[in-house]
């Protein structure tokens, strides 16, 4: 039998983190050519300031701080939820004891509690059978107090992941991974969109990054991030190149792109020298090195010297993914009433 328990977590801090390497959010529309002009102007200001003996910030890039934005979005959602009766309900299914999955699930539970959701974590041992797991999903589908269902991935290899995901009612699929929700996105009629791509789009849009007419490169074609994000960018009128392990001359694709999104899970695969000056860089990857440090899929330091705006790792896309999970649960709640 699974073990069901409520989540517990600390209250969210009231102060927004300002990244030590730059400003927190883009102010106003940001276009690549504006980023290049801004960089040239600020370099001139730096030179003039140094001549005058003034202290000038040497960091010209804009840090797209997903943590700060997610705090603001979650607070706005909490205000909406306080007026609801009953409150939205989110259930997360966790199979096994993978440390990374446990951390992710715990964070989701903490945020769910802060915004005012009812929330449950359903734990199964790593050797759970397929039928038992599917039966649990069926019960959650039938439970009127549950508005959103998320099965934490990856699942153990003996389980059929596709079958488990497809068992979720599309109306409760707050991870946006069922074929029904992916199909609606492909048709330009999205309902519940995968959380990480949705979080990337929210970060770009809320930060004032201009998308229409821009050349965008998405590196990685997973069903969870790359493919749905490419569709969202295309629907925002970007010209999108979706790259993968068989892409020839990846460097040249990156070099001509105004917007670069890396989502492959390979530490610093995208070199900073490839980034076009004034480009916007979104690093979805989170990779732990042997020394315990976290790095993204992009070589951050050199890339930041060239980019007009860039996400940090950690603190960039990750918090936005959880914020969009909360937004999807709220939308699922409203759609069912």
Per-residue pLDDT tens digits for 268-286 = 999 999 999 999 999 999 9
> Residue 100 pairs with which residues in a beta bridge?
none
DSSP letter for 314, please: T
| Terminal-to-terminal C-alpha distance of the chain | 31
pLDDT at 46 over 70: no
Residue 337 binned pLDDT confidence (cut-offs 50, 70, 90): confident
pLDDT at 100 over 80: yes
Question: How many Å apart are CA 243 and CA 224, to the nearest integer?
Answer: 15
Question: What are 171-200's pLDDT values in tens digits?
Answer: 999 999 999 999 999 999 999 999 999 999
Q: How many CB atoms lie within 10 A of CB 191?
A: 16
**Structure-block tokens of residue 319:** 């918090």
pLDDT for position 3: 67
By the 8 A CB rule, do 227 and 268 touch?
A: no
How far apart are alpha carbons 120 and 109 in whole angstroms?
8
Structure tokens at 205: 């849009």
Averaged pLDDT, 77-104: 97
Q: How confident is the model at residue 5 (pLDDT cuts 50, 70, 90)?
A: low
Q: Can you say how many angstroms the Cα of residue 320 is from the centroid of all Cα atoms in its chain? A: 5
% of residues, the chain, pLDDT over 90? 80
Of 90, 88, 118, which is closest to residue 105 (Cα–Cα)?
90
Neighbours of 27 (CB within 10 A): 10
Tokens describing residue 286: 């989170």
Q: pLDDT > 70: what percent of the chain?
A: 82
Q: pTM of this prediction?
A: 0.83
CA 48 to chain centre: 39
The mean of the pLDDT values for the chain is 87
Residues with Cβ within 8 Å of 138's Cβ and at least 6 positions away in sequence, in order, are 167
- If one counts every other C-beta atom within 10 angstroms of the C-beta of residue 232, the result is 22
- Nearest to residue 308, comparing CAs of 277, 267, 265? 277
Region for 213 from its dihedrals, namely left if φ exceeds 0, alpha if ψ lies in -120 to 50, beta otherwise: left
Phi, psi of 77 (to 5 degrees): -65, -40
Cis check: omega of the bond before 154, within 30 degrees of 0: yes
Indicate if the pLDDT at residue 155 is higher than 80.
yes
pLDDT of residue 278: 96
Residue 31: predicted pLDDT: 47
The answer to whether residues 238 and 259 touch, using CB atoms and an 8 Å cutoff, is yes
CB atoms inside a 10 Å sphere around CB 16: 14
Model confidence at 7, pLDDT cuts 50, 70, 90, reads low
Contact 54, 187 (CB under 8 A): no
As annotated, the active-site residues are: 108, 152, 175
Cα distances from 320 to residues 74, 204, 337, in angstroms, run: 10, 11, 26
pLDDT in the model for residue 326: 99
pLDDT at 29: 41
Confidence of residue 63 (pLDDT cuts 50, 70, 90): very high
The answer to whether the CB of 286 falls within 8 A of the CB of 316 is no
Q: Which domains does the chain have, with CATH numbers?
A: 86-175 (3.40.50.10860), 207-319 (3.40.50.720)
Q: How far apart are alpha carbons 107 and 104 in whole angstroms?
A: 5
Separation of alpha carbons 91 and 168, rounded Å: 12
pLDDT at 329: 99
The 10 Å CB-count burial string (b at 16+, else e) for 199-216 is: bbbbbbebbebbbeebbb
């Amino acid at each position: 039998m699974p073990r069901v328990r409520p989540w517990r977590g600390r209250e969210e801090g009231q102060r927004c983190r300002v990244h030590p390497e730059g400003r927190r959010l883009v102010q106003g529309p940001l276009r690549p050519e504006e980023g290049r002009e801004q960089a040239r102007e600020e370099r001139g200001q730096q030179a003039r300031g140094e001549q005058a003996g003034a202290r000038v910030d040497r960091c010209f890039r804009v840090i797209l701080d997903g943590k700060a934005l997610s705090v603001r979005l979650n607070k706005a959602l909490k205000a909406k939820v306080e007026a609801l009766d009953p409150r939205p309900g989110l259930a997360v299914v966790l199979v096994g004891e993978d440390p990374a999955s446990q951390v992710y699930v715990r964070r989701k539970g903490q945020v769910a509690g802060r915004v005012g959701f009812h929330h449950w974590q359903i734990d199964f041992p790593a050797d759970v059978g397929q039928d038992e797991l599917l039966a649990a999903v069926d019960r959650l589908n039938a439970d009127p107090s549950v508005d959103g269902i998320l099965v934490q991935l990856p699942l153990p290899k003996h389980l059929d992941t596709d079958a488990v995901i497809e068992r979720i009612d599309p109306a409760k699929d707050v991870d946006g991974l069922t074929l029904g929700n992916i199909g609606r996105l492909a048709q330009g009629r999205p309902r519940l969109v995968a959380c990480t791509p949705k979080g990337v789009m929210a970060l770009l849009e809320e930060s004032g990054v201009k998308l229409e007419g821009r050349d965008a490169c998405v590196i990685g074609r997973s069903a969870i991030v790359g493919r749905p994000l490419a569709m969202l960018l295309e629907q925002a009128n970007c010209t999108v190149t979706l790259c993968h392990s068989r892409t020839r001359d990846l460097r040249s694709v990156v070099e001509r792109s105004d917007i670069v999104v890396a989502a492959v899970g390979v530490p610093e695969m995208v070199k900073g020298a490839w980034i076009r000056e004034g480009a916007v860089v979104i690093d979805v990857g989170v990779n732990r090195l042997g020394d315990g440090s976290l790095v993204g899929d992009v070589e951050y330091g050199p890339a930041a010297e060239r980019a007009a705006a860039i996400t940090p790792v950690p603190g960039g896309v990750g918090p936005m993914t959880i914020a969009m999970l909360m937004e999807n649960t709220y939308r699922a709640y409203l759609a069912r009433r």
